[in-house]
Structure 1
Amino acid sequence: MKNEKKNYINGIDNFLLFTALVAIVVFFKGLSSDILNFDDNEYFFNYPEILKLNFSNVLLYFKKYYVLMYQPLPVLSFAISNFLFGLNPFFHHFLNLAFHVFNIFLVYRFCRLLGANQTVVKITTFLFAVHPLVVEPVIWISSRSSVMYVCFYLIALIHYIQYKNNFKKLSLIYCFLFFILALFSKVHAVSFPLSIIVIEIFVFKTKIDFKFFIDKIPVFLLSLIFGVLAFLNTETTENIAFSSSVYTAYDYFFILNYEIIWYLVKILLPFELSPIYVYPIKTEGFLPYLYYVSAAVVAISIFTVFKLKKHKSIILFGILFFYSNLIFIFQIVPSRLFIVADRYGYLANIGVFYIIGNLISDFKTQNKTKAEYFSYIAAVVLIILSFLQTKIWKNDKTLAEKIISINPETPYIARAYGIRANYYKDKEKRMDLALQDYLKAFSLDSNDWISPYQAALIYSTNGELQQANDYFKKSCKIENKSPLPYTDWGVLYSSLNDFKNAEICADSALSRAKYFSNALLLKSVCRLNFKDSVSALKILTLCIDKNPKFSPAYKNRGIIFFNNFKKTEEACIDFNKAHQLGEPGMQDILNYYCQKK
């Protein structure tokens, strides 16, 4: 008997190690993926406090929204990994994968506590480990919040089930603490009260009465607080306003039904997966026909489940767990500019995987050979699909191409064209292809100021000055906050010796950012060409005071000192400073003007 138990435990250990190893092999290639220009870059370049880990910044992580979300713990993890490894993408990806591997063990433990047999536990765990829908939360650095909140969420569920088994208060305390950690990782953890209700009803057969709900008031209150916190973000409310202006309440009924079916279908048929799924395009006031069909499919599915006699309890448990963890991301309140997302099913899918495990386990008792063949073939197919899906996240180009190929041409897809254009421009130096994508992006989204601005820069570099002028004008007409398009438009005018318009552009840029270094530099060039060297010198001195590491200002001020004020010593001090800061060509200038100094 002891030997049988030992063999059983060893079999479990071997299975878990094998599953974890398979997951690592499947996703290992993804560790070499870039930091993407798709939210990843925003964390590290738009929020400087993430790059500087200290106590005051840690407090700041708990006070701010990051990329539209309240997620202090994932942001803290970014800061720690950056502190240890810098912006090396390997280690940022590795941390995501490490959380996923740990979550595999947690899913296994969770299913065991639910009382499932060995076959069900193994199938559920394996599907969670390698299903193609898992690729996004594991490989995308920005999905750190997903793998982290699910980790804490599962630990909280495990402790709750242990509490129901032993009624030890310590288990309940641990449950509550890890639930709080899940909430601080991602607001989606607000579904926790629903999950424990489903578990109590279907696993523990708890009687539903007044006390049943009274006991859960603390977790409901926490969920309510964090749920409200999520909607207080200004950009979230702007998204709600935008989406509500396009679609009617009638439309949202069918959109909701489409979402309900989509997440289920993609588990069974995980093909044509994309990093983004945009809202549908209405034609003559109507949604695509699939949205209307979805409502009928939902109705038929509900009817079928309630008519079931065999496995009804298990199927209801799995489905309710599934939708309890999706309900808060459904677009009942349209808070996002995309309709569904692979990562949103990372936790919820466990419910459907559990159903699949039970169905295969039952089939195995009737025909073991066929059940095993089916399981092995399905496992191989899923592994291959996940491995291929991982390649999509390699870099901005592969990511954008997938988004473009899957989605209809809507304003939101302009972002994908812009991302690919940046890759062509910055990585491959293929300016012709970059220009095509910038122009395409602008044609899709007339409110996009960056694409015409980038197109203008390429036209200017190519010497196509009229086109450059036209696109600078289009960009400036849209953008009212950034100094960039006005500054570079002014540089174009200055290259044509039109310093009057160049100065107008410089002033427009400075009205948006009064100490913007390039705009101050442009303004000084204009003043100098108007024979006002005193003002030019003052402007450059201001520029240096506000931007002490901006080397061109030292170079230009040195030239003015030398040519206009005959102050060789001051000029050489500035030339030396520019040289120290890495300004190109300064060694030749120093040799010529300051050799004796």
Structure 2
Amino acid sequence: MRLSTLLCLVMLVVTLALFSRTAGFDFINFDDPGYVTANSVVKGGLHGGSVAWALQSSEMSNWHPLTWLSHMTDVQLFGLKPAGHHLTSVVLHTVSAFLLFLLLVRLTAMPWRSLVVAGLFALHPMHVESVAWVAERKDVLSGLFWHLTLLMYVAYVHKPKPWRYLATMGCFVLGLMAKPMLVTLPVVLLLLDWWPLNRFRRDQAETAPAPRTARHLFLEKVPFFLISLLSSAATIFVQQHGGAVQSLEKVQFGLRLANVFIAYVRYLIGMFWPHDMAILYPFPTEIILWQLAGSILVLIAISAAVFFFRRRFPYLATGWLWFVVTLLPVIGLIQVGGQSHADRYTYLPYTGLSIIAVWGVSELCSSLSFKEKALAALSVLTLAVCAVMTWQQLGFWRNNITLYRHTLAVTSNNYLILNNYGIALNQEYGDADGALAAYQEALRIWPNSALTRNNLGTMYLAKGRYAEALEQFREASRLDPGEPMVMVNAGRALAKAGRLNEAAEQFAAALRQDPAAADAHLQLAILLIKSGRSSEARPHYEAVQKLEPSSARGPLTIAVELAAAGMVGEADGYFRQAMTIEPNSLDVNFNLGVFLAKQNRLDEAAHCFYRVLQQKPDSDLAKNWLKRIGR
């Protein structure tokens, strides 16, 4: 036991060292803005108002207050420097691996097998997405409480006390407040009652900590099932109202059902042959019949074998059902998002397959005279391969460009990622032509994408091709009626074309659709200021400040627009306001630097660009501007 504990510590150190590579990685523009970098409440850190917001917010189409509080704590400690946010996830993942080791040792009294399962959890390359993606903090945080809940449950089973039962339930609730995927945990508690706790088996009462009738065991879990039911109902409600759930018109039920079987088999393959991993696998537009038939046969065969051997090898039933059941909330019957499956969904389910693999291989090798050496060598080799593959997969998560280029290389028809790739090319590299090409390719793949139409319109708008921009915005509005952002962008195009009254009508329409649309308030304020109606603009500007009290986006956007219109004096004042609110913001410092450079205030401009490079040393845009001003 001492040696296994020491090796567990070695495994944890390796995990920390391996994933600490993410400290040098950027945020990405896929969900990270919504969770951290562009979320005005989260960017304000921890305070009474933000805590209250976290407890009631349904933003990002989920109710997960503990996740919001976690992100706010990171901002409070590290600001918007990505290193701290990444390392928090690494620490949570490492602690979770340790808790899994303790859990399996308490359950089975088999430290060596427990160590290998924990090692697979810690080092499997399919778990890179959950750890390296800041927006997936909910995965590692809920995983921590998942393992704590199971540990508390085992403590309760061995020494039943009311406070242990309540502590188990408390950890479960906290886990659901981090990610509602934990709704299947009550079923896993029953699976553990079957094996290894043996609470269903009266004939083995001497080995069971607390043998009970099946009826008692089910009644014992009723409060947990009720909590899961409430969490599921709340999640479905929030996701439907947030627009995350795809309607049957968009994704037919037959296609969803067929994809369920194929996705399960893909997850199975990914456990033993992780390859071509990507941040998003597009949902198929059609199902290949032989793949569906083969997947159904594979799942039926495995399930039949598990049922046949359920008494002789009870770990098969626990492991297989752990895998199948924990995937149910995200398997796609209720389609959320545009993915057919996702690496992050394996974070907890793969423990079931790991138990089957480790216990199964140990059973197969039980008759070998050199069993211990063979298993030790195989375990070390497997974990080493996992570590190497994880290191390689981590490299793709360095920044937007490396991540999206890899994803586009290993997937096809991925119009959603082409959209994010275009945004990254434009914003980070100033490659407007590359962004335009990415959007056009995305539109070729899926012409009915309002998102792509909107993005393409913004590129035409930036290039001064106002008529083409308006055409794209009108088409986006037809595809997604009532979307405030499309209305705002159409208003921006009309304003640039000099059609100010029509622009104002678009901004007003967006505000009727959503009175809290900060972008509509902001653009209307800009329009009124440029028209010399500053007094009318003030209520809209104040609305932006109220909606985004900790964000410099409002004054910065107005400053940039005023500077472009030649209203230098007014722009300078708004730039100063932006600096007061977010003195360390990359956007504020870069745009202020450009403004100052154009006013020939070179020393001040250089200072701004150097501040950008302090936080982002590889910023080509800042380096290029320093060259332009001779610094």
TM-score, normalization by structure 1:
0.82
For 1:543, what is the secondary structure of its paired residue? helix
Partner AA of 2:491 in structure 1? T
For 2:56, what is the secondary structure of its paired residue? coil
Q: In the aligned structure 1, how far is the partner of 2:57 from the partner of 2:171?
A: 21
Residue equivalent to 2:360 = 359
The change in CA–CA distance for 1:201 and 1:455 in structure 2 (over 3 A counts) is closer
For 1:326, what is the secondary structure of its paired residue? helix
Q: Which moved more, 1:372-381 or 1:312-321?
A: 372-381
For 2:60, what is the secondary structure of its paired residue? coil
Does 2:440 align with 1:439?
yes
Partner AA of 1:29 in structure 2? R
274, 277, 281: which one pairs with 1:273? 277
Residue equivalent to 2:220 = 215
Residue equivalent to 1:107 = 100
Residue equivalent to 1:72 = 65
Residue equivalent to 1:567 = none
For 1:425, what is the secondary structure of its paired residue? helix
Q: Which moved more, 1:319-328 or 1:148-157?
A: 319-328
530, 534, 538: which one pairs with 1:540? 534
In the alignment, structure 1 segments of 5+ residues that lack a partner are: 1-7, 495-500, 526-535, 560-570, 591-597
Question: Conserved in 1, the CA contact under 8 Å of 2:470 and 2:490?
Answer: no
Q: In the aligned structure 2, how far is the partner of 1:261 from the partner of 1:375?
A: 24
Question: Conserved in 1, the CA contact under 8 Å of 2:260 and 2:333?
Answer: yes
The change in CA–CA distance for 1:77 and 1:423 in structure 2 (over 3 A counts) is same
The change in CA–CA distance for 1:21 and 1:288 in structure 2 (over 3 A counts) is farther
Q: In the aligned structure 1, how far is the partner of 2:349 from the partner of 2:503?
A: 53
| 1:75-474 mapped onto 2 (5 Å cutoff) | 75-207=68-200, 208-235=213-240, 238=243, 240-243=245-248, 245-249=250-254, 251-282=255-286, 286-287=287-288, 289-308=290-309, 312-365=313-366, 366=368, 367-368=370-371, 369-409=373-413, 413-449=414-450, 451-459=452-460, 467=468, 470-471=471-472, 474=475
The superposition leaves residues 231-285 of structure 1 with CA deviations (integer Å, 9 ceiling, x where unpaired) of: 1115368554524653244x44432222332222211111122212222221xxx
Q: In the aligned structure 2, how far is the partner of 1:203 from the partner of 1:475?
A: 55
The change in CA–CA distance for 1:175 and 1:557 in structure 2 (over 3 A counts) is same
* Deviation for aligned residue 1:113: 1.1
* Deviation for aligned residue 1:357: 1.7
Does 2:502 align with 1:504?
yes
Q: In the aligned structure 2, how far is the partner of 1:477 from the partner of 1:65?
A: 27
* Deviation for aligned residue 1:390: 0.9
* Deviation for aligned residue 1:226: 0.7
Residue equivalent to 2:12 = 20
Residue equivalent to 1:3 = none
Question: Conserved in 1, the CA contact under 8 Å of 2:25 and 2:399?
Answer: yes
Question: Conserved in 1, the CA contact under 8 Å of 2:281 and 2:411?
Answer: yes
Residue equivalent to 1:42 = 34
The change in CA–CA distance for 1:476 and 1:254 in structure 2 (over 3 A counts) is closer
Question: Conserved in 1, the CA contact under 8 Å of 2:117 and 2:355?
Answer: yes
Q: In the aligned structure 2, how far is the partner of 1:254 from the partner of 1:450?
A: 27
Question: Conserved in 2, the CA contact under 8 Å of 1:36 and 1:396?
Answer: yes
For 1:81, what is the secondary structure of its paired residue? helix
Q: In the aligned structure 2, how far is the partner of 1:19 from the partner of 1:70?
A: 34
The change in CA–CA distance for 1:555 and 1:586 in structure 2 (over 3 A counts) is farther
* Deviation for aligned residue 1:546: 3.1
Partner AA of 1:512 in structure 2? A
For 1:343, what is the secondary structure of its paired residue? helix
Question: Conserved in 2, the CA contact under 8 Å of 1:110 and 1:158?
Answer: yes
* Deviation for aligned residue 1:224: 0.9
Partner AA of 2:536 in structure 1? L
Higher Cα radius of gyration: 1
The number of residues matched between the two structures is 546
Q: In the aligned structure 1, how far is the partner of 2:76 from the partner of 2:386?
A: 36
Q: In the aligned structure 1, how far is the partner of 2:102 from the partner of 2:327?
A: 22
Partner AA of 1:270 in structure 2? P
Question: Conserved in 1, the CA contact under 8 Å of 2:280 and 2:417?
Answer: no
The change in CA–CA distance for 1:121 and 1:577 in structure 2 (over 3 A counts) is closer
Q: In the aligned structure 2, how far is the partner of 1:256 from the partner of 1:576?
A: 56
Question: Conserved in 2, the CA contact under 8 Å of 1:540 and 1:553?
Answer: no
Question: Conserved in 2, the CA contact under 8 Å of 1:555 and 1:578?
Answer: no
Q: In the aligned structure 2, how far is the partner of 1:586 from the partner of 1:359?
A: 67
TM-score, normalization by structure 2:
0.78
Q: In the aligned structure 2, how far is the partner of 1:118 from the partner of 1:457?
A: 58
Partner AA of 2:329 in structure 1? F
Q: Which moved more, 1:289-298 or 1:228-237?
A: 228-237
* Deviation for aligned residue 1:107: 0.7
For 2:247, what is the secondary structure of its paired residue? helix
The change in CA–CA distance for 1:102 and 1:211 in structure 2 (over 3 A counts) is same
- What is the root-mean-square deviation in Å for CA atoms of aligned residues? 3.2
Q: Which moved more, 1:190-199 or 1:446-455?
A: 446-455
Q: Percent identity?
A: 18
For 2:340, what is the secondary structure of its paired residue? strand
* Deviation for aligned residue 1:195: 1.0
Q: In the aligned structure 2, how far is the partner of 1:34 from the partner of 1:513?
A: 34
The change in CA–CA distance for 1:399 and 1:183 in structure 2 (over 3 A counts) is same
* Deviation for aligned residue 1:457: 4.9
Partner AA of 1:511 in structure 2? A
The superposition leaves residues 390-441 of structure 1 with CA deviations (integer Å, 9 ceiling, x where unpaired) of: 12222112222233233331xxx32211111111111122222111002122
* Deviation for aligned residue 1:31: 2.3
For 2:61, what is the secondary structure of its paired residue? coil
Does 2:501 align with 1:485?
no
* Deviation for aligned residue 1:149: 1.2
In the alignment, structure 2 segments of 5+ residues that lack a partner are: 201-212, 513-519, 543-554, 579-591, 602-631
* Deviation for aligned residue 1:47: 3.7
Partner AA of 1:444 in structure 2? I
Question: Conserved in 1, the CA contact under 8 Å of 2:525 and 2:540?
Answer: no
Partner AA of 2:417 in structure 1? A
For 2:158, what is the secondary structure of its paired residue? helix
* Deviation for aligned residue 1:345: 1.8
* Deviation for aligned residue 1:95: 0.8
Q: In the aligned structure 1, how far is the partner of 2:318 from the partner of 2:80?
A: 43
Question: Conserved in 1, the CA contact under 8 Å of 2:246 and 2:337?
Answer: no
The change in CA–CA distance for 1:115 and 1:491 in structure 2 (over 3 A counts) is same
For 2:297, what is the secondary structure of its paired residue? helix
The superposition leaves residues 437-490 of structure 1 with CA deviations (integer Å, 9 ceiling, x where unpaired) of: 021223334444454454455446556676556546555665642244223322
Q: In the aligned structure 1, how far is the partner of 2:564 from the partner of 2:299?
A: 69
The superposition leaves residues 319-346 of structure 1 with CA deviations (integer Å, 9 ceiling, x where unpaired) of: 1222232222222333443232212221
Q: In the aligned structure 2, how far is the partner of 1:243 from the partner of 1:521?
A: 41
Q: Which moved more, 1:457-466 or 1:317-326?
A: 457-466
Residue equivalent to 1:568 = none
